[in-house]
Amino acid sequence: MVHLLEWGAPIALSSTQQYSLNPVLLQSCPIHVYSSDAWHSQPRQTERVFPGNFVIHDRRNERKSAFVPRRIPSKTGDYAPARAGRYQTPELTKLVLEEVDRFPLSTPESLVQYIAPEFLPSDVRAALAGLEKQGCLIVEPKESGSGPKVFCYTLSEKGRKMLEEMRKRWRKSLPDARRCMTSSTAAW
């Protein structure tokens, strides 16, 4: 608010009873914010303001501006909540299956956190739910070694077959990609 109002003194006074504050103190504050009721109760105010609005009065230049208060949500460093994509990508499916195969204590939360830099968390959760529904992932309680049991993902036989098929397809497409790269660099 200090930056917004371009006033270097980070002091804000608030009162529902404007006459209870010291008049000398009030005069020393160059910017006043009034509710519509407080604005209309001031003597010699001819400007009308809608109920529920506020007025900012800058006494340095006598500028008065009415505004409607609204809540501004704070932004965090996380992704904005988004709906999951309609189509599960083969890259995401392969990555989920590989990570579950690689780490024996893969919890849903740990997988989302690990894969989230590359894909939206909502897409990762949707992929996990879809693979579980297809029978490729099994959720089972396992000993964590440091406390209560943890529900972790394990690859089912169907999941292992799917992962092997995806790896074979990827290996087959690799020579094609190398050929494309060498032909495009030869043109340079």
**pLDDT tens-place string over residues 123-148:** 888 899 999 999 999 988 888 777 78
Q: Give 162's pLDDT tier (boundaries 50, 70, 90).
A: very high
Structure confidence at residue 135 (pLDDT):
92
Q: Which residue spans within the chain are E strands per DSSP?
A: 31-35, 54-58, 63-67, 137-142, 150-155
pLDDT, averaged across the chain: 76
| pLDDT, mean of residues 8-13 | 58
152: which strand partners? 140
Beta-sheet strand order (sheet of 31-35): 31-35, 54-58, 63-67
Say which CATH topology domain 81-163 has: Arc Repressor Mutant, subunit A (1.10.10)
62 residue type, one letter: E
Q: How far is CA 9 from CA 6, 12, 130, 139, in A?
A: 9, 9, 56, 58
d(CA 97, CA 39): 64
Residue range(s) occupied by CATH 1.10.10.10 in the chain: 81-163
Of these ranges, 14-18, 21-25, 109-113, 117-121, the one predicted with the greatest mean pLDDT is: 109-113
pTM: 0.47
The answer to whether 188 and 179 are in contact (CB under 8 A) is: no
Mean pLDDT is lowest, of 82-91, 154-163, 166-175, for 82-91
pLDDT, tens digit, 9 for 90 and up, residues 19-44: 667 777 777 777 778 888 888 887 77
Helix-helix angle 90-102:121-134, to 10 degrees? 70
What residues have CB less than 8 Å from 25, skipping those under 6 apart? 13
